[in-house]
């Protein structure tokens, strides 16, 4: 009987302390109302950068594309790179610019057993992003 009374007492103390120390939480609407402005994210990726590398007929075919926002100037630089003992070496580069969407690419002779990748640097307005294709061997 005494043990059960102690358990009930401890449970009551635990429950009451949870109720006493609970902290009220207000949703972000209160912040918006208080300051009168909408909360915006610090970084917003407003464009897409796509990269493609395929092999066909002894050639490495490279393609980079930027899909930006309407009314924003964009540019894309697509570079075919090969792996060497010193790191990645640029083989060939293609560039293009335009409004909202732009793409650049082409092909270059590929050697068997060599690892290649494509690096694409895309810009839209004041934002920029760099993407790499997966490393592939011809």
**Alpha-carbon gap, residue 130 to 115, rounded angstroms:** 20
| Residue scoring higher pLDDT (1 or 48) | 48
- Show the tokens assigned to 129: 């992003």
- What's this model's pTM, rounded to 2 decimal places? 0.66
Mapped onto helix, strand or coil, the DSSP state of residue 9 is helix
pLDDT of residue 29: 47
Mean pLDDT of 45-65: 91
Query: Domain residue spans in the chain?
Result: 2-35, 48-137
Mean pLDDT of 93-114: 95
Rounded to 5°, the CA angle 124-127-130 comes to: 90
The CATH class given to the 48-137 domain equals mainly beta
Mean pLDDT of 94-117: 95
Does pLDDT of 83 surpass 80? yes
Question: What does the mean pLDDT of the chain come to?
Answer: 82
């Amino acid at each position: 009987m005494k043990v059960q009374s102690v358990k009930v007492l401890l449970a009551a103390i635990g429950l009451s302390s949870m109720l006493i120390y609970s902290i009220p939480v207000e949703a972000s609407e209160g912040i918006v109302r208080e300051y009168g402005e909408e909360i915006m994210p610090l970084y917003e990726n407003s464009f897409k950068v796509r990269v493609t590398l395929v092999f066909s007929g002894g050639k490495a075919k490279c393609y980079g594309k930027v899909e930006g926002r309407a009314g924003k100037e964009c540019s894309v630089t697509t570079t075919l790179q090969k792996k060497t003992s010193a790191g990645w070496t640029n083989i060939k580069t293609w560039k293009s610019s335009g409004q909202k969407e732009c793409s650049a690419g082409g092909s270059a002779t590929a050697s068997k057993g060599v690892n290649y990748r494509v690096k694409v640097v895309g810009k839209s307005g004041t934002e920029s992003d760099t993407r790499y294709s997966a490393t592939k061997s011809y």
